[in-house]
Structure 1
Amino acid sequence: MVNCYLLNKGGQRFRSWGQRITITAAFIYLTAILLLCLTPTFLKVSSVHKTLFYFRGVPYNLLPFQGISPEFFLNIIMTLPWGVFLYLFNSRLRWGRLVKYCFLFSLFIEANQFIWDLLIHLGRLADVDDLITNTFGALVGFTIMKLLDNTFFHALIQKLRLNRP
């Protein structure tokens, strides 16, 4: 089992089983995101024709919503857990910071896809649609957790949270 030695703000270890589950799941999720988004792909998921721009042979899209494809919804689903983890890490995030963290996570993914495609030709596409849908998905995940925290799931969510109110 993963032994969790991360410290909270008070300098104490996260000792509860719920906190350890949250940290372990977040680590697994982030690893899966890196593998999913930063490995070479030869499959073309998007069925929508987009006007692309190129920088040294690397494609990118700066024109939002040229069409809706299954990829649009898959990006929202992919980043829902990020919003859940943000809630479990700090449920009192103000709206502005929440949007910033969701956007920066999405920007990290898209920027890395572009950079790594430039360096080693991953076959990825940095897309403004992905930036928007990833951000939206994380915001939806946070909102779902906020709503669930006001239901009978409250006790379970309290055990999984890293910050205690």
Structure 2
Amino acid sequence: MRAWLPFIFYFGLEIVLFVASDCWNRHPRWGERVTTVSFVVYVTAVMWLCLTPAHFSFLSAPKALFYFHGVPFNAIPFQGFSPEFFLNIVMTFPLGVYIFLFNYRTPFERAILYGLCFSLFIEINQFVWDYFLNLQRLADIDDLITNTLGAVIGFSLMIILYQNGWRKFLQRFMLTRAEIC
């Protein structure tokens, strides 16, 4: 049960922040509400995948790991490719979509930074919580890279769609009002 504390803590924090932000009232349109509610569900799912005890494992490529007080981590990128490598891209692809929907004017460099910070948050938490609670998680430089890449791909796709005929549709789900052209 102790191993579920990180998930429970962050889930509670997420709910408190959602309620405190008054997001529901500030974005009354149905598309905006779909965006906000689906984002809460998305963040909850990512926390469940990354901050709960590891009961499942994908076939990973063999890696030379380092250890800090018994906690493993990988600091050498691209030692091998596995399904996990690509699943991390898939997991953070929606993050890039949300970055765009929250503010379509976000500069590309800032979207990269947001993806990197989100990934860094996950990896640091996996390391720290594994140290204290033995979650059997692995902080991995490859995950940092692929998570960031997933967010960048999602954000880039949204830019492409927005500029190529999907603007009116996407505006229904955007939290910042775009001028209708």
* TM-score normalised by L of structure 1: 0.91
SS state of the match for residue 171, structure 2?
Answer: helix
Determine if the alignment matches structure 1 residue 65 to structure 2 residue 74.
Answer: no
Are the equivalent residues in 2 in contact too, given 1:18–1:161 (CA < 8 A)?
yes
User: 1:102 corresponds to which letter in structure 2?
Assistant: G
Are the equivalent residues in 2 in contact too, given 1:5–1:14 (CA < 8 A)?
no
User: 2:111 corresponds to which letter in structure 1?
Assistant: L
Aligned to 1:21: 34
CA apart distance, 1:133: 0.2
User: 2:108 corresponds to which letter in structure 1?
Assistant: W
CA apart distance, 1:45: 1.5
How many pairs does the alignment contain?
A: 160
* CA distance, structure 1, for counterparts of residue 116 and residue 45 of structure 2: 19
CA apart distance, 1:13: 1.4
SS state of the match for residue 40, structure 1?
Answer: coil
Determine if the alignment matches structure 1 residue 83 to structure 2 residue 96.
Answer: yes
- Residues 36-47 of structure 1 mapped to structure 2, 5 A cutoff: 36-47=49-60
Q: In 2 relative to 1, CA 58–81 (structure 1 residues): closer, same or farther, beyond 3 Å?
A: same
Determine if the alignment matches structure 1 residue 106 to structure 2 residue 119.
Answer: yes
* CA distance, structure 1, for counterparts of residue 169 and residue 21 of structure 2: 21
Aligned to 1:129: 142
Are the equivalent residues in 2 in contact too, given 1:72–1:129 (CA < 8 A)?
yes
1:103-148 C-alpha deviation (Å, 9 max, x unpaired): 0000001111101101100000000000000000000000111111
Aligned to 1:140: 153
* CA distance, structure 2, for counterparts of residue 142 and residue 164 of structure 1: 17
Q: Which moved more, 1:146-155 or 1:44-53?
A: 146-155
Determine if the alignment matches structure 1 residue 74 to structure 2 residue 103.
Answer: no
SS state of the match for residue 67, structure 1?
Answer: coil
Aligned to 1:153: 166
Cα RMSD for the two superposed structures:
1.8
User: Unaligned regions of 5+ residues in structure 1, if any?
Assistant: none
CA apart distance, 1:7: 4.9
* CA distance, structure 2, for counterparts of residue 25 and residue 161 of structure 1: 13
* CA distance, structure 1, for counterparts of residue 129 and residue 56 of structure 2: 17
* TM-score normalised by L of structure 2: 0.83
SS state of the match for residue 160, structure 1?
Answer: coil
Q: Percent identity?
A: 49
Q: Please point out which of 23, 43, 48 is paired with 1:35.
A: 48
User: 2:163 corresponds to which letter in structure 1?
Assistant: N
CA apart distance, 1:81: 0.3
Q: In 2 relative to 1, CA 20–6 (structure 1 residues): closer, same or farther, beyond 3 Å?
A: farther
